[in-house]
Amino acid sequence: MEDELWQRANHQVQTWQEQGEDALAIWDSSEWEKPESLASEDLCAVRSSKAKRLTHIKPGYYNPPGRPIFVPGLHWLAVIVIGRSVQLGPPMLATMRWWSSRGARASFTRDEEGKLLVERLLGWGRAVVHIFDQGFAGAFWLGVLLAFGLRFVLRWRGDYQLYDAQGNRRKAWRIAFGKRGWSERTIWDSRRAQWVHGSVLALPVTHPDHRETPLWLVVCRSKGRTPWYLLTAEPITTDEDAWRFDKSELAFQSPRLWRGPGKGEAAHDGHVGLRVSLACAGTPL
């Protein structure tokens, strides 16, 4: 199954490359929770996102536990391939892996991410732009991406430090503080399911551990939400460039299984048909 998924995704990327189109390789990771199961020897302790949601403070009810709740489960890591526009087709799962932090086959997050990159994705070279959420932010992963010369957009933490254009080492939010956006647009906020007014700004920066490589910090602001900070090595000289990279991440909603073939409904091409809920580049697919 893993080989079949990879072959289909690889063929799609090559097709887009021949058409002069960039592909987005969207990385994501989380946990598969099995709170009632202890049967599998490979299950390890994972932080429960469901428990986190259920224990949010609800005024008038009770005070939730202050510490994170861990349950048996497995970690997973996946990469989805998608084009920059609706016309290039639906998203496609390229690869997905599960791993455990316990037992004879115990592993670590960065090890699994590195193995997936080297074993599968390096062959795409600069034909794709890798999109990473905040969990990948940090000097180590940034160094890996720069060492292999990959194109990327990395959601950065506002409290992580960078060097600004004047050579001052400051937190990302301080670098952007007080600076007006280059332009404003109405964009689709997939989390709140509504159109909002947003502004975008791009600033030249460097990382303390990689001072020789010029980077750009893209900042998107909209009313009622915390600003997004995106780090990329792609040159950004206009507001169109900034919006191009910002929308790759801002309007992306995690793919979800919506429905499969119903009773009596045939699968297509020998594969189970899945309908996917996704918003990318500001347009619901």
Per-residue pLDDT reduced to its tens digit, 165-192: 999 999 999 999 999 888 888 877 777 7
Average confidence (pLDDT) over 1-30: 92
Q: What was the pLDDT predicted at 26?
A: 94
What integer pLDDT is reported at residue 214 of this predicted model?
A: 96
Question: Torsion-angle region of residue 167: left (phi > 0), alpha (psi -120 to 50) or beta?
Answer: left
Per-residue pLDDT, 235: 87
Distance CA 285, CA 280 (A): 7
The per-residue pLDDT for 32 is 86
> What pLDDT score does 49 carry?
83
Does the pLDDT of residue 275 top 60, yes or no?
Answer: no
**Alpha carbon 56 to chain centroid, angstroms:** 24
Tokens at 126, concatenated: 């600069």
Chain CA centroid to CA 133, Å: 4
Query: What's the whole-number mean pLDDT along residues 53-64?
Result: 71
Phi, psi dihedrals of residue 125, rounded to the nearest 5°: 55, -130
CA distances to 93, 195, 245 from 97, rounded to whole Å, are 11, 35, 27
Is residue 277 over pLDDT 70? no
More confidently predicted of 280 and 202: 202
Of 29-33, 54-58, 255-259, give the range with the top mean pLDDT. Answer: 29-33
Question: Domain extents for the chain?
Answer: 2-35+73-284
DSSP H helices in 69-166: 109-116, 139-147
pLDDT at 212 over 60: yes
**CA–CA gap between residue 196 and residue 83 (Å, rounded):** 24
**Contact present, 9 and 92 (Cβ < 8 Å):** yes
Handedness of CA 204, 207, 213, 219 (dihedral sign): negative
Strand partners, 77: 29, 97
Q: Which tokens belong to 197?
A: 């007014």
What's 2-35+73-284's CATH class?
alpha beta
pLDDT band at 246 (very low <50, low <70, confident <90, very high): low
Give the mean pLDDT of the chain: 82
